[in-house]
Chain A
Amino acid sequence: MLTLPLVLPPTVVGFLLLLMFGKNGPLGKLLMAIGMTVIFSWPATVIAAAVVAFPLMYRTVRSAFEQIDQNIINAARTLGVSEWKIFWKITIPLSWPGVAAGTILAFARALGDFGATLMIGGNIPGKTLTIPAAIFFAAEGGEMRKALIWVMLIFVISLIVMTLMNYWTDYQSKMITSNGRK
């Protein structure tokens, strides 16, 4: 269920979000009662990006947690250490490469989302227009120079992300040999 947005087409995710946050949707009504409209505002783009990116974060972090030797956690428990402290002092430090990887992957996915964002955010310039949408509409309108500038920007960001990912893979393979993983 939590990984559903990963396999659904982005427009379908966007459509479902529209149903939920729309004027007649359950969450939309709730927000309306406190005087908020989400649809076609910048928070809508944030929600769309978060929902499509969440499964990547969730899956990566979860598998990092699962790779920790359970005996290490059990050892901490027998020492009388609280679950809270175990989480922050052991689970997170031992799985932080996974958390970092999840963050990077989720960031890249959120940055590139087109379909879901367009469905509930629209493409209001200066308000809800994201870079992928801007590229699409610039190219559609024949403004190739403008589209190219946006494309270059995405390129630079993606290259940085890729470099970080490679760095992380190296780091992780080092962690596996030295860090009490299975």
Chain B
Amino acid sequence: MGLLVDIQKKLPGFTLDIKFETGMDTLGLLGASGSGKSMTLRCIAGIDKPDQGRIVLNGRTLFDSQKGINLPCQKRKLGYLFQNYALFPNMTVEENIGFGIGDKKRADRLAIIKEQVKMIKLEGLEKRYPNQLSGGQQQRVALARALAIEPEALLLDEPFSALDDYLRSHMVKQLSETLADYRGVTLFVTHNMNEVYSICHKLVVLALGKIEAQGGTVEVFRSPPSLVAAQLTGCKNFSRAKYISPFDLQALDWGINLKTRSEIPQHIKWVGIRAHTIEMSLEEKEGNEFQCWLNSASETPSRMTVYLDLETETGGKGNHQIQWEITKQMWSELKNKSQPWKLRINPEALIVV
């Protein structure tokens, strides 16, 4: 049971060429815009047609270029949540939800609509039209409409991109709960690494139509297998790297030597460090210490981003070499300390590719 996707399709600028298999867990497709992730969903749903390949859902072939099989959208039995929700503007909430189950008996249909409306907590708004609902409510209606047909798979295309921050965090939680109850394959497409991390157990990272990383979400985030995968999972600092010994490398752009916890291969090219994993060095001789000067700092509502120079003090001129994210409390303690500051990179947090 599960979904097998192995398709190729020529797109303007690049060729989509992906292969993955997933079971009943929620699988995230993470990629920058224009990486082919939405096209992948559209091919699975039958909205677009791959040039060649195979799509099999729960043993049912939806598409097979060799056997000449290409089931129409209508026969695939997939729930698709569109980025802009694509609700039918000329129908009320209950008509939207009931539209896909028109062939059922009236009593059954009404029961399903009632159950779905209850699930999305929109009781009392059944007679409203989509333009009379808020963005979050519209999204819930779209989800209920997709689930009403009891789809074998649920395809979510950037479901949170049209919501503001407050609503987004609220809806992420709600969607996770809904997905936990849903029995079927779920694909979740997004460019937002936070959403993918909190919703998906498994992950496929896409860039320019190719799979850059694949596996458990936590593992991919901990040790992304390529530079692009590391960037897409939010790593901000990179340096060219040279192999010294199985547990030592030289970060060429930063001019420092670093120790790693796990053994590194000889052909390493890059070393990366996530912006929040750099620590203040408290004791001497901990290893992986480096000294740095403040280049500049920028404030976000909740945190500080500090840009650092490693080799020489530039006083804000020139490009910073490392980006460091800290709490505001740390910043207020740090900013009065004399420079250069002594910082430390935890060997476990190093990303080597």
Residue A24 at the chain B interface, CB threshold 8 Å: no
* A72: nearest chain-B partner, CB-CB: B86
Residue A163 at the chain B interface, CB threshold 8 Å: no
User: Considering the chains assembled together, what is the distance between the CA atoms of A179 and B100 in angstroms?
Assistant: 20
Question: What residues on B are CB-neighbors of A85 within 8 Å?
Answer: 102
Question: What residues on A are CB-neighbors of B142 within 8 Å?
Answer: 75
Residue A173 at the chain B interface, CB threshold 8 Å: no
Q: How far is the CB of B49 from chain A (nearest CB, A)?
A: 13
Residue B75 at the chain A interface, CB threshold 8 Å: yes
Asked whether, in the complex, the Cβ of B87 is within 8 Å of the Cβ of A81, the reply is no
* A80: nearest chain-B partner, CB-CB: B74
User: Considering the chains assembled together, what is the distance between the CA atoms of A90 and B45 in angstroms?
Assistant: 20
Asked whether, in the complex, the Cβ of B76 is within 8 Å of the Cβ of A178, the reply is no
Interface string of B61-95 (1 = CB under 8 A from A): 00000000000111111111011101111100000
Asked whether, in the complex, the Cβ of A74 is within 8 Å of the Cβ of B86, the reply is yes
Asked whether, in the complex, the Cβ of B100 is within 8 Å of the Cβ of A90, the reply is no
User: Considering the chains assembled together, what is the distance between the CA atoms of A74 and B102 in angstroms?
Assistant: 17
Interface string of A81-96 (1 = CB under 8 A from B): 1100100011001100
Pick from B47, B83, B88, B100: contact of A72, CB under 8 Å: B88
Pick from A79, A89, A178: contact of B131, CB under 8 Å: A178
Question: What residues on A are CB-neighbors of B100 within 8 Å?
Answer: 76, 79-81
User: Considering the chains assembled together, what is the distance between the CA atoms of A117 and B46 in angstroms?
Assistant: 49
Q: How far is the CB of B187 from chain A (nearest CB, A)?
A: 13
Interface string of B148-162 (1 = CB under 8 A from A): 010000000000000
Asked whether, in the complex, the Cβ of A74 is within 8 Å of the Cβ of B88, the reply is no
Most buried by B among A76, A80, A81, A82: A80
User: Considering the chains assembled together, what is the distance between the CA atoms of A82 and B130 in angstroms?
Assistant: 22
Residue B254 at the chain A interface, CB threshold 8 Å: no
CB-CB under 8 A for A179 and B82, given A80-B74, A80-B75, A82-B74: no
Residue B191 at the chain A interface, CB threshold 8 Å: no
Question: What residues on A are CB-neighbors of B76 within 8 Å?
Answer: 78
Residue B99 at the chain A interface, CB threshold 8 Å: yes
Residue A180 at the chain B interface, CB threshold 8 Å: yes
Residue A69 at the chain B interface, CB threshold 8 Å: yes
Question: What residues on A are CB-neighbors of B46 within 8 Å?
Answer: 77-78
Asked whether, in the complex, the Cβ of A90 is within 8 Å of the Cβ of B88, the reply is yes
Residue B145 at the chain A interface, CB threshold 8 Å: yes
Pick from B78, B102, B131: contact of A78, CB under 8 Å: B78
Most buried by B among A79, A85, A90: A79
CB-CB under 8 A for A76 and B88, given A81-B99, A82-B74, A179-B131: yes
User: Considering the chains assembled together, what is the distance between the CA atoms of A93 and B88 in angstroms?
Assistant: 10
Interface string of A145-180 (1 = CB under 8 A from B): 000000000000000000000000000000000111
Asked whether, in the complex, the Cβ of A76 is within 8 Å of the Cβ of B84, the reply is no
Residues from 43 to 96 in A contacting B, C-beta threshold 8 Å: 69, 71-72, 74-82, 85, 89-90, 93-94
* A75: nearest chain-B partner, CB-CB: B86
Asked whether, in the complex, the Cβ of B88 is within 8 Å of the Cβ of A80, the reply is no
User: Considering the chains assembled together, what is the distance between the CA atoms of A176 and B349 in angstroms?
Assistant: 52
Question: What residues on A are CB-neighbors of B90 within 8 Å?
Answer: 90, 93-94, 179
Asked whether, in the complex, the Cβ of B74 is within 8 Å of the Cβ of A81, the reply is yes
CB-CB under 8 A for A78 and B99, given A69-B84, A94-B89, A94-B90: no
Question: What residues on B are CB-neighbors of A81 within 8 Å?
Answer: 74, 99-100, 102
Question: What residues on A are CB-neighbors of B77 within 8 Å?
Answer: 80
Most buried by B among A69, A75, A94: A75
Asked whether, in the complex, the Cβ of A69 is within 8 Å of the Cβ of B86, the reply is yes
Residues from 103 to 121 in A contacting B, C-beta threshold 8 Å: none
Pick from B73, B99, B129: contact of A74, CB under 8 Å: B73
* A69: nearest chain-B partner, CB-CB: B86
User: Considering the chains assembled together, what is the distance between the CA atoms of A147 and B89 in angstroms?
Assistant: 49
User: Considering the chains assembled together, what is the distance between the CA atoms of A80 and B98 in angstroms?
Assistant: 12
Question: What residues on B are CB-neighbors of A72 within 8 Å?
Answer: 86-89
Pick from A71, A80, A82: contact of B82, CB under 8 Å: A71
Asked whether, in the complex, the Cβ of A77 is within 8 Å of the Cβ of B89, the reply is no
* A71: nearest chain-B partner, CB-CB: B86
Interface string of B89-131 (1 = CB under 8 A from A): 1100000000110100000000000000000000000000111
Asked whether, in the complex, the Cβ of A75 is within 8 Å of the Cβ of B74, the reply is no
Interface string of A128-152 (1 = CB under 8 A from B): 0000000000000000000000000
Between A and B, 25 residue pairs with Cβ closer than 8 Å are: A69-B86, A71-B84, A74-B73, A74-B86, A75-B80, A75-B82, A75-B86, A75-B88, A75-B142, A75-B145, A76-B100, A77-B46, A78-B45, A78-B73, A78-B74, A78-B80, A79-B100, A79-B149, A80-B74, A80-B75, A81-B100, A81-B102, A90-B88, A94-B89, A94-B90
User: Nearest 9 CB-CB pairs, A to B?
Assistant: A79-B100, A77-B73, A180-B89, A71-B86, A75-B86, A78-B80, A178-B131, A179-B89, A93-B90
